[in-house]
Structure 1
Amino acid sequence: MTWDEMGPLLWESTGQTALMVVWSTLFTVLLGLPLGVALVVTDRGGLLPSPLLNRVLGLIVNVGRSLPFIVLMIAVIPLTRLIVGTTIGTFAAVVPLTLGAAPFFARLVETALREVGRDTVQAAQAMGAGRWTIIGKVLLPEARSGLVAGLTVTVVALISYSAMAGVIGGGGLGDLAIRYGYQRFETTLMVVTVIVLIVIVQLVQTLGDAIARRLARH
């Protein structure tokens, strides 16, 4: 396979990977952020203590994190078909990607929020701030550097997951590496695909680290 033939394939597959990662990141934040906040505020000594709910949420997160992604992709095929209408393609891959990453991100959110000093929360309570005000204007802003760092780790994980999505026809760089690099013995294409994935991960990690450091200084 010549470079002229590889170029369009790499460009199209990179775009599919970017699409999967962007959409799954958005839905992961929408699911994982509230879940992580709930894990903190419902804990003993939290703003809205509810031990039973906390244990249930913790169990859900632990089960979600314990499933290997390749198993999760297959297990949620009926749900994927129900939501998207198909189990093949870029948008179909967003469903298992989101379900795989949301529990992971929720734990990172929990960790970041627990790093906020209790003195800060108690000071807000002493000034008469309500529970939801403390969550929205104290906990989340104070933990923003850790949240960005956690999101960066999650996006990197999603890039890795998206490569595995090629196994079920999810498209993207992983699918390209399997269909052409492995099945057609195009070693050069497989190596180039790996290099592209490494470059994308490095760019995401560098950008995320820079934003987290900037927020930490402020």
Structure 2
Amino acid sequence: MKQYRLRIFGMVIAILFSSIAWSQDCQPLGKFTNTNGETNTIAIGDTYSGSAPLTVTFSANPPITNDATTKYEWHFFNQKNIHLPFLIRYEENTEYTFTEAGTTKVVLYEILKGDTTRYNAISFSISESSLQMPNAFSPNGDGINDIYRAKPGYKSIIEFKAIIFNRWGQKIYEWNDPAGGWDGKYKGKEVAQGTYFVNVTAKGADGKEFRIQRDVNLLRGYTQNTR
């Protein structure tokens, strides 16, 4: 009887240790920096709505007791086909840049000794594109409207180029990021107050193309208190 009890006790201990070895309990996460420069973390079951391009680092985050033979697969699904992934990454941690408008679901599959665990999706909703350029700015050093740039609220712009010309057609400045802009200088020196011209070509994550050509009024003497 004593040997029987010892045998049962040994079997229980073996089952417990086996459970510890097989229990993975990953905590999949996505980390990214939004257009405001803020770092965000999104977990399984969550949805993030934002603008492209959006680069996200995905981490499986397995426990320390993770079995070394565990394999990981990140499956990416879009709204065009919710059952067939358009991309599979075979790694514990991976990075992906969202450049298309619409909803994408990212699912982690954990494979251990023939058993597969599917975690809930992390979802990303990328907005349609929009872009507008202002017709004036006042680079007078007051910290208000000192830089000529795209109007706040632009969304999902994945390609961008803007060129400033003077009234004689001479190129004064150019930049390739909608977050950038012109400070009213040419080769480090302030240009004269007056009317300039901007030519913008851009493309959105939804395929929309933008071609904006307009006058730019440089009002160096203007302030918020100007009447």
TM-score if structure 1 supplies the norm length? 0.23
Higher strand residue share:
2
TM-score if structure 2 supplies the norm length? 0.22
* Greater Cα radius of gyration, structure 1 or 2: 2
Q: Larger relative CO (CA 8 A, sep 6+): 1 or 2?
A: 1
Higher helix residue share:
1
